[in-house]
Amino acid sequence: MAVSTNELAILAIVLLVTAVVFYTKGTRRAPLPPGPRGIPFLGNLFQFNVMRPYPQYLKWAQKYGPVFSIKLGSQRIIVLSTSEAADELFVTRSKLYSSHESPHVGFDLVSDQQRMVFMPYSREWKIVRKNVHGILGPGPSKQMRKMQDLECRIMLHDLLCHGDTSIVEDFVEGPHGKVPERHWFSIIRRYTTSLMMTLVYGRRIHRIVDNPELHQVYEMMSNMTHVSQPGRYLVDALPILRWLPDIMAPWRAEGKRMHEWEMGFWGKLFADSRTAFLNGTGLNGFVQSYLSARAEAGLEDLPGKGATEDGAGWMRDKLITYTAVSIIEAGSDTTSTAVFSFVLLMLSNPDALRRAKEEMGAVVGSSRMPDWEDEDRLPWLTACIKETLRCAPPLPLGIPHKADEDDVYNGYLIPKGSTVIGNIWAIHMDPVRYPDPTAFKPERFYNPDGKLNWASGPDTHNRDHYIFGWGRRFCSGKYLAEASMFIVLSRLIWGFDFYAASDPQTGKVKLPDVNDVDTFTDGLVTAPKIYPVGFKPRSEKHAEMIKASYRDVQNDWQSMGLAGDER
Ligand code: HEM
C-alpha cells in the first residue's frame, strides 16, 4: 500500500497527540507519595516543628518510605530520604529539578528576588552562577589559599590568646544564635567571614571585639535562615494570601522592612566599594573586578536589579550586591558550623582525638605547621572531618529544590511546583549505608592507602557524604570549604590541646550531647549552640611559632594593602 507524505504527517501527529495524552493521563493517574494525613487547608502544618523539621522527617521516612509527601497549606512538599532518589531526581533529571524553592517573604520581599540561593532555574541564575564559578571553581578557588593560610594563622593566635576565657566566663547565647564577642565561636566566625569579605570586597575583618560589622553579618544570616524556612510564614504555604490588602498582610511590611535593613548594610558595602572603585582606590575583590569589567564594556552606571537583556547579561548594581551577599552568607556560617561540630565530636570521642594527634605528630611534628601538601598523609584526620560532616551536616535538609514540571518517580506523582527536599540528615542516618549511624566512627572513611577524595566527583551514588547537595545547584563553594576545613582543623589539632569544661564539684566533663537535637540551633543552617572550650598550646615551641607567625602575617597584610589586625 502506498502512503502519501500527507498521510504520514497525519499519522505522526495522531501518534504524538496520543503519546502526549497518554503520558499526561499517566502522570495524573499516578498517586502521590504516601505521607501523614493532614487537616483541610493547613495540611500537616501543625504536626511538627517547622523550624526544626529534620527529626520528624526522619521518623516519617522510617514509616512511609524513602519518598514521602506532606502539605504545608497548599504547598506540596516531597521529601527524598535516600541518595538513590535524590540522585535520580536532582542529578539524572536535573532539567526538571534545578530550581530552588523561592519563599515569598524571604525571596520576593526581603531579597527583592536577587538572592542567588533562592532563585528559580532561570537566565538570571545562570548569569550569577557563571560569575560565581569564575571565583569559586576548582582553579580560581586555589588563588584563595594564600588568604586561607594567613587568616588561619591569625585564628591560631586568637585561640592562643583566648585560652580558657570561654570556660571561666559565663557566656550566654543571644537570640537567633547571637554569639558573645569574646567567646571562641567569634574567633572561628571571624576567620570564615574575613575570608569571604576579602574574596568579595577585598577587605578583611580585622577585629573581633567592638566590630559591629562582623556580628551584623551573622545577625542577617540568622534572620534569613529563619525567615526562609518552609512553613515559617503562612503566606508561603497559602499563596492566595498574597492578594490580601496591606492592612491584612503584616508580613508584607515586615519583609520590606527587612529588605531596607539588609540594604542599609549590604547596600552600603556595595556603595562604598563602588565609590572606591570610581576614585581609583578600589581593592581587589570580586565586586571591584566586576565593576571594572562592566565599566570597560561602557556600562559604568547600571543601577536597578536583574541583568541586562543582551547576550552579555551584565549584572546591575542590586544583583551584584546580592551576589556578594550570597557568597558571604553561603560561605561563612556553613564552614564555621563544621568547625564547631568537629571540636564537639572530637571532644566527645577522646580516642579519635588522641589518634588524630598521634598521626599529626608522626607526619608533621612540631617544627612546622601542617599544610595542604600534608592532606594525603593525614587520612585519619580526613576521616574524622568526613565523619563529622556525616553526623552533623551544616544544612541537614540542604536547600529545598522545586519541581518545574509534573513528573513520576517510582510510580509516584511529583506535581509541578512541589518543593522537593533532599533529606541529607536521613541519608546520613541510613543504617545500611552507615551501620550504627548515630555513633561517631571515622574508621568508615579511613583509607590510608588510596588517594583521598572528598565529596565531589561524578559518582554521586558513592559519595562519602551529601552535605553539598546535588546536581546543577551543587554548592559552588565546595573547593573553598574543603580547603578551609582542612587547614583550620589540621592546625587546630597540630597546635592545641583543646579541652571541655568540667564540673568543679565532680570533675566530670561538661559537654553538650551530640545526639540531642537541642544541642543545635533551628533553621536552615543547624549549628551547635555555644559551648565552652579551652585552648592550650601543645608545647612552648608551638606557642612561639604561633606568635611569630602572627607577627609575620602583619607584614603580609601591609604589603597586600590590607588592614592589620587590631586586638
Ligand atoms: C561546610 C561548608 C558548606 C556547606 C555544608 C554548604 C552547603 C551547601 C548546600 C547544601 C547548597 C545547596 C545545594 C543544592 O541545592 O543541592 C549550597 C549552595 C551554595 N553554596 Fe555552599 N556550602 C558550604 C560552603 C560554601 C562556601 C565556602 C561558599 C562560598 C565561598 C558556598 C557557596 C554556595 C553558593 C553560592 C550556593 C548556591 C548555589 C546555587 O544556588 O546555585 N558554600 N551550599
361 vs 460, higher pLDDT: 361
**Domain-embedded: residue 26:** no
Q: What is the pLDDT of residues 298-312, one digit of tens each?
A: 999 999 999 999 999
**Domain-embedded: residue 24:** no
**Domain-embedded: residue 1:** no
Enclosing domain of residue 409: 51-558
Answer yes or no: is pLDDT of 287 > 50.
Answer: yes
Task: Please name the residue whose Cα sits nearest to atom 19 of ligand 1.
Answer: 475
**Domain-embedded: residue 101:** yes
Contact 241, 249 (CB under 8 A): yes
Q: Is the CB of 80 under 6 A from ligand 1?
A: no
Q: What is the CATH number of the domain that holds 330?
A: 1.10.630.10
Q: Is the CB of 467 under 6 A from ligand 1?
A: yes
Task: Please name the residue whose Cα sits nearest to atom 31 of ligand 1.
Answer: 477
Taking the CA of residue 118 as reference, the ligand 1 atom at the shortest distance is 40
Banded pLDDT at 476 (limits 50, 70, 90): very high
Q: Nearest 5°: CA angle at 189, between 166 and 273?
A: 140
In this structure, are strands 412-414 and 99-100 parallel, antiparallel, or unpaired?
Answer: unpaired
Taking residues 275-290, report their average pLDDT. 87
Q: Is the CB of 493 under 6 A from ligand 1?
A: no
Answer yes or no: is pLDDT of 51 > 80.
Answer: yes
Whole-number Å distance between alpha carbons of 67 and 32:
10
The CA 468 to ligand 1 mean position distance, Å, reads 6
Number of domains in the chain: 1
The CA 293 to ligand 1 mean position distance, Å, reads 26
**Domain-embedded: residue 25:** no
Task: Please name the residue whose Cα sits nearest to atom 9 of ligand 1.
Answer: 468
In this structure, are strands 419-422 and 401-402 parallel, antiparallel, or unpaired?
Answer: antiparallel
Residue 210 DSSP label? T
The CA 510 to ligand 1 mean position distance, Å, reads 33
**Contacts (Cβ under 8 Å, ≥6 apart) of 74:** 43, 237, 238, 239, 240
Taking residues 336-341, report their average pLDDT. 98
Banded pLDDT at 210 (limits 50, 70, 90): confident
Q: Is the CB of 535 under 6 A from ligand 1?
A: no
How many Cα neighbours within 13 Å face the side chain of 307? 23
Q: Is the CB of 534 under 6 A from ligand 1?
A: no
Taking residues 524-543, report their average pLDDT. 95
Question: What pLDDT does 11 receive?
Answer: 44
Model ipTM over 0.90: yes
**Domain-embedded: residue 315:** yes
Q: Is the CB of 399 under 6 A from ligand 1?
A: yes
**Domain-embedded: residue 34:** no
The answer to whether 475 is a known ligand-binding residue is yes
The arrangement of strands across the sheet holding 509-510 comes to 509-510, 496-502, 533-537
Taking residues 201-226, report their average pLDDT. 88
Q: Is the CB of 129 under 6 A from ligand 1?
A: yes
Answer yes or no: is pLDDT of 458 > 80.
Answer: no
Taking residues 458-486, report their average pLDDT. 90
Q: Is the CB of 91 under 6 A from ligand 1?
A: no
Q: Is the dihedral of CA 338, 342, 345, 348 positive or negative?
A: negative
Give the distance, in angstroms, between the CA of residue 496 and the centroid of all CA atoms in the same chain: 27
Residue 497 DSSP label? E
**Domain-embedded: residue 20:** no
Q: Is the CB of 135 under 6 A from ligand 1?
A: no
**Contacts (Cβ under 8 Å, ≥6 apart) of 328:** 193, 196, 197, 200, 217
CA-wise closest residue to 284 among 135, 395, 149, 417? 135
How many Cα neighbours within 13 Å face the side chain of 218? 31
Q: What is the pLDDT of residues 12-47, one digit of tens each?
A: 554 454 444 444 444 557 999 999 999 998 999 899
Question: What pLDDT does 463 receive?
Answer: 85
Taking residues 403-425, report their average pLDDT. 97
The CA 305 to ligand 1 mean position distance, Å, reads 23
The CA 135 to ligand 1 mean position distance, Å, reads 14
Q: Is the CB of 476 under 6 A from ligand 1?
A: yes
Whole-number Å distance between alpha carbons of 259 and 111:
6
**Contacts (Cβ under 8 Å, ≥6 apart) of 464:** 386, 390, 445, 454, 455
Cell digits of residue 386 = 568526613
Contact 420, 98 (CB under 8 A): no
**Contacts (Cβ under 8 Å, ≥6 apart) of 450:** none
Q: Determine how many CB atoms are found less than 10 A away from the CB of residue 91.
A: 17
The CA 335 to ligand 1 mean position distance, Å, reads 10
Mean pLDDT over the full length of the chain:
91
Give per-residue burial for 464-479: e unless 16+ CB within 10 Å, then b.
Answer: bbbbbbbbbbebbbbb
Answer yes or no: is pLDDT of 507 > 90.
Answer: no
Q: What is the pLDDT of residues 372-398, one digit of tens each?
A: 999 999 999 999 999 999 999 999 999
